[in-house]
A and B are shown apart, each in its own frame.
Chain A
Amino acid sequence: MLWRFRSGLSPITRRRIAVFRGNRRARWSLWLFALLFAISLGAEFIANDKPIVMQYQDRWYAPMLVDYPETEFGGFLPTTADYRDDFVHDEIASNGWMLWPPIPFSYDTLDRNLSHPAPSPPTGRHWLGTDDQGRDVLARVIYGFRLSVVFALVLTAGSLVLGVVVGGIQGYFGGKVDLIGQRFTEIWSGLPVLFLLIILASLVEPNLWWLLGIMLLFSWLGLVDIVRAEFLRARNLEYVRAARALGLPSHLIMWRHVLPNAMVATLTFIPFLFTGAITTLTALDFLGFGLPPGSPSLGELVAQGKNNLQAPWLGITAFITLSLMLSLLVFIGEGLRDAFDPRHILAPMQPDTETSMAPLTKEPADER
């Protein structure tokens, strides 16, 4: 649909990238967050209770991708092999070799060979100790980080689509559509989200999708007002009127001319929507109304820290993880907000951004 004569970024976008890159804190936060997220995406290769690859009796196996029955390795049960089991472990070690991930525990692996009763303090075996059920905290943090971010990503994307569509339609058409839409969103936003989730938790077994669905029903409301206001303003801009005079249909005008304007305000809102989603998920897990038991969840770790004050590594880990993640997101959000702020043009620039600023400082072409 986007049909362009010149590929590449418009000068406005280039200026914004330059401003964002000029903000060192936001830039580093973005890199660090991206790195952490990339690592957590490969959580299975970092923390798992199965080897990545192994050789047994000169045959190659990839236990991470394929489930092999225990009988394959000389066992007696046709169940999936437990590679941490001493028998299987020794059998494979004597007939081949195994490549283990750096953390040989998954988020739900119960370590039965603990030196201390669970929750056990950090040791060489468990870098951040274990929780009160003997599960490795570091593994749970990595998986929990991924789950939180993915949850927030999906929720934000969903809210964005819903909020922009509803707000855009209200703002662009105005009049009765706007009036009815506004009254509806006002009533809708009056519903108590947390109570609904708690009631729901007693009716169904809450899983990730249920939580996502319920929160999606409400999280788009915050965006509607912003998008609606931007559309209301933009629909009377002259180039939007010119597009109407050209005979373009409404959906094209909204997509090409109005939406890019509205996206500025919307994009600056996104990082805060994102942190909000993470906080809510954590809070629900903390209260025990969130993800099903056993899921790798930062909120549950906080709850464990609270219940086991004698094991400070639980609370400290949860605190550092959450505060690091949320701070990074807020810094990125601030950088984005400044980049989209038109008044920020005069902010001191790094010298390396000068090339991307060149088209702006060029004198306007002369008429005569």
Chain B
Amino acid sequence: MSADIVFSLHRFSIAFGNMKVVDNLSLDIRRGETLALVGESGSGKSVSALGAMGLLPASARVSGERRLSGTDLSTLTATKWQGIRGNQVGFIFQEPMTSLNPLHTIAKQIGETLRLHQGLTGRAARERVRELLVQVKLPRPDELLDTWPHQLSGGQRQRVMIAMAIANRPRLLIADEPTTALDVTVQQDILALLAELRETHGMAMLFITHDLNLVRRHADRVCVLYRGQVQETGPVSEVFNHPQSDYTRTLLAAEPEGRPAHLVPSAPALLETRQLEVAFARPKRLFSRRRPPFVAVHPLDLHLQRGETLGIVGESGSGKTTLAMAILRLTGSTGEITFAGDRIDHLKGDHLRKRRGDFQIVFQDPFGSLSPRMPVADIVSEGLRFHQPELGSDDILRRVTRALQEVGLPADCSARYPHEFSGGQRQRIAIARALILEPQLLVLDEPTSALDRTVQKQLVELLRDVQARRGLSYLFISHDLAVVRAMAHRVMVLKDGAVVEQGDCEQVLHSPRSGYTQALVDAAGLSG
């Protein structure tokens, strides 16, 4: 049995200075097996993999036993390491946009590892690269050999990365969040490909992810990490059905659940658009006719009642955010937008600015949406100070405190700066900034995508609470159907800027009519 073990760690620890980031990690992976390393951001998943392969900066102190098919990795010299990395161990990283060198063609990119480890050059290398491209199921392999990375889509680049990783038939494949940056439908294809390659090559795979759905479907065994400590290790079915540790239980229960509150059927309409279209002019080339404009959102009609949540679903590039920006009048558009009975598509300058308090937005990135130079009270009260300049500083402070309380933050945080808060707390600050103006419509642009599952769940609950209390309408933009189901009354599915399907949320997700929606639902792994 022990001969079967490809990779093992025993009492493995990593520390930066005084901070232990991985503590006493023990695991082993057998031939043809996938072990998933699961945990929230900062739990030490990636650091463990990098540390085991000696890829951390010198300031990291790595201790413990690590073995690759019997070789003790902790005593290797630099030259020995080079023979192992990329040869016996293949890596796939998260970000396909930056992990390929933009100045090398695909053939050169993959050929490099072949030349280094197998001494293949010229025609032989090219032939082998072509073979690999076929293996990772890239279309038109002959043409792809001479393309540059920027000509490929994210999914295609990730396939190239995989081809590089398996080029030397490694025994161990380390996949560090290989699909996080990809659209959900592409995710499934990539993972299926990885599973197939693992079978045919008999590789062991270390699969690092934060997404439990993927673990459930694609891993054999799972190891749950929390703050550098192993919480639980075991076969997937066992861990998922009978979790032993408290943390695993919280993680498993962290799927957003529940449904939004029922709608008042006769609620008046808050927002209506008619033939709303967003098009961007393309640059004119010298001596040639201007190409037709790029239509980001095809003409669409949309309506939203008071107290209702409309989920807007689609993959990246489908025009979700552009649509929201057009409705908020932050991007130019054509067509009618009626908000609370008034046409707002013709408003300009001061009239528009006065109206902006009624429709607010919360952005995706909790790190980028708060000015790092302002204390929280300034950030939250900024809109209030502009829209109601007659308020005294006592009134403002009281309103800030109330807004912070409403989003579940202690009042004493108002004098602190954004960097002192976690991602979820920052998102709450962003919500408080929007709520203090007492808007009627809140656009939520992927508000939970950058957060861990457990934090997501809390935020979803908060948003539903606020909606019930204030009768707010939400425009909820997301690619994550699990969150959408927990938030939205109705959904609208967008693809390439056009509506594919819309209707009652439960109905659309349960029995989608279009193939595209079906693919999204399948990919999200929604059960029932």
A residues apposed to B, CB below 8 Å: 3-6, 10-12, 237-239, 241-249, 252, 256-257, 260, 359-360, 362, 364-368
User: Nearest chain-B residue to A366 (Cβ)?
Assistant: B422
Which residues of B lie under 8 Å from residue A12 when comparing CB positions? 372-373
A247 engages B354 (CB within 8 Å): yes
Which residues of B lie under 8 Å from residue A241 when comparing CB positions? 330, 361, 363
B375 engages A242 (CB within 8 Å): no
B433 engages A367 (CB within 8 Å): no
B420 engages A247 (CB within 8 Å): no
Which residues of A lie under 8 Å from residue B420 when comparing CB positions? 359, 362, 364-365
Known A-B contacts A3-B385, A5-B378, A238-B368; the reply to A10 vs B353 at CB < 8 A is no
User: Nearest chain-B residue to A346 (Cβ)?
Assistant: B59
User: Nearest chain-A residue to B354 (Cβ)?
Assistant: A247
CA distance A94 to B455 in the complex (A): 90
Which residues of B lie under 8 Å from residue A368 when comparing CB positions? 454
A247 engages B397 (CB within 8 Å): no
Name 20 A/B residue pairs within 8 A (Cβ), A-sorted.
A4-B378, A5-B414, A6-B377, A10-B375, A11-B419, A241-B363, A242-B363, A244-B330, A245-B356, A246-B356, A246-B360, A246-B383, A247-B352, A247-B353, A248-B353, A260-B371, A364-B419, A365-B421, A367-B424, A367-B455
Which residues of A lie under 8 Å from residue B370 when comparing CB positions? 239
CA distance A290 to B238 in the complex (A): 87
Count of A-B contacts judged by CB separation below 8 Å: 100
Mark interface residues in B359-387 (1 if CB within 8 Å of A CB, else 0).
11101110011111111011000110111
B355 at the interface (CB under 8 A from A): yes
Tell me whether chain B's interface is mostly helix, strand or loop, or mixed: helix
B residues apposed to A, CB below 8 Å: 328, 330, 352-357, 359-361, 363-365, 368-375, 377-378, 382-383, 385-387, 393, 397, 414-415, 417, 419-425, 430, 433, 437, 454-455, 458
| Nearest CB in chain A: distance from B87 CB, A | 33
User: Nearest chain-B residue to A247 (Cβ)?
Assistant: B356
A246 engages B330 (CB within 8 Å): no
| Nearest CB in chain B: distance from A282 CB, A | 38
Contact pick for A238, options B363, B378, B414, CB 8 Å:
B363
| Nearest CB in chain A: distance from B427 CB, A | 10
| Nearest CB in chain A: distance from B381 CB, A | 8
| Nearest CB in chain B: distance from A348 CB, A | 13
CA distance A360 to B420 in the complex (A): 8
Which residues of B lie under 8 Å from residue A362 when comparing CB positions? 420
Which residues of B lie under 8 Å from residue A252 when comparing CB positions? 386
B361 engages A242 (CB within 8 Å): yes
Which residues of A lie under 8 Å from residue B386 when comparing CB positions? 246-249, 252
- 4 closest residue pairs by CB, A with B: A247-B356, A246-B383, A238-B369, A5-B377
CA distance A68 to B370 in the complex (A): 64
Which residues of A lie under 8 Å from residue B369 when comparing CB positions? 238-239, 242
A239 engages B371 (CB within 8 Å): yes
| Nearest CB in chain B: distance from A16 CB, A | 12
User: Nearest chain-A residue to B350 (Cβ)?
Assistant: A249
| Nearest CB in chain B: distance from A7 CB, A | 10
Contact pick for B383, options A248, A260, A360, CB 8 Å:
A248
A365 engages B385 (CB within 8 Å): no
Contact pick for B373, options A10, A248, A360, A367, CB 8 Å:
A10
Contact pick for B357, options A5, A10, A247, CB 8 Å:
A247
| Nearest CB in chain A: distance from B105 CB, A | 31
User: Nearest chain-A residue to B376 (Cβ)?
Assistant: A5
| Nearest CB in chain A: distance from B428 CB, A | 10
Which residues of A lie under 8 Å from residue B458 when comparing CB positions? 367
Which residues of A lie under 8 Å from residue B417 when comparing CB positions? 10-11, 359
CA distance A360 to B418 in the complex (A): 11
A367 engages B365 (CB within 8 Å): no
CA distance A238 to B446 in the complex (A): 13
B382 engages A6 (CB within 8 Å): no
Which residues of A lie under 8 Å from residue B437 when comparing CB positions? 246
A245 engages B454 (CB within 8 Å): no
Contact pick for B368, options A6, A237, A260, CB 8 Å:
A237
B433 engages A246 (CB within 8 Å): yes
User: Nearest chain-A residue to B384 (Cβ)?
Assistant: A246
B383 engages A247 (CB within 8 Å): yes
Most chain A CB within 10 A, of B357, B371, B455, is at B371
| Nearest CB in chain A: distance from B413 CB, A | 8
Which residues of B lie under 8 Å from residue A242 when comparing CB positions? 361, 363, 369, 430, 433
CA distance A358 to B447 in the complex (A): 31
Most chain B CB within 10 A, of A242, A260, A362, is at A242
| Nearest CB in chain B: distance from A309 CB, A | 56
Contact pick for B415, options A6, A237, A243, CB 8 Å:
A6
CA distance A4 to B430 in the complex (A): 18
Known A-B contacts A367-B455, A368-B454; the reply to A246 vs B382 at CB < 8 A is yes
Which residues of B lie under 8 Å from residue A243 when comparing CB positions? 382
Which residues of A lie under 8 Å from residue B328 when comparing CB positions? 245
14 more contacts with CB within 8 A, not counting A6-B375, A246-B433, are A3-B385, A10-B374, A238-B363, A238-B369, A239-B369, A241-B361, A241-B363, A242-B430, A245-B330, A247-B357, A247-B383, A364-B421, A365-B420, A367-B422
Which residues of A lie under 8 Å from residue B364 when comparing CB positions? 238
CA distance A237 to B393 in the complex (A): 28
CA distance A237 to B378 in the complex (A): 18
CA distance A150 to B188 in the complex (A): 68
User: Nearest chain-B residue to A242 (Cβ)?
Assistant: B369
CA distance A252 to B455 in the complex (A): 34
CA distance A325 to B357 in the complex (A): 54
Which residues of B lie under 8 Å from residue A364 when comparing CB positions? 419-422
| Nearest CB in chain A: distance from B469 CB, A | 22
CA distance A241 to B443 in the complex (A): 13
CA distance A146 to B383 in the complex (A): 46
Most chain B CB within 10 A, of A12, A241, A246, A257, is at A246
Which residues of B lie under 8 Å from residue A366 when comparing CB positions? 422
B382 engages A365 (CB within 8 Å): no
CA distance A6 to B417 in the complex (A): 10
Which residues of A lie under 8 Å from residue B455 when comparing CB positions? 367
| Nearest CB in chain B: distance from A174 CB, A | 13
| Nearest CB in chain B: distance from A325 CB, A | 33
CA distance A366 to B417 in the complex (A): 15
CA distance A257 to B379 in the complex (A): 10
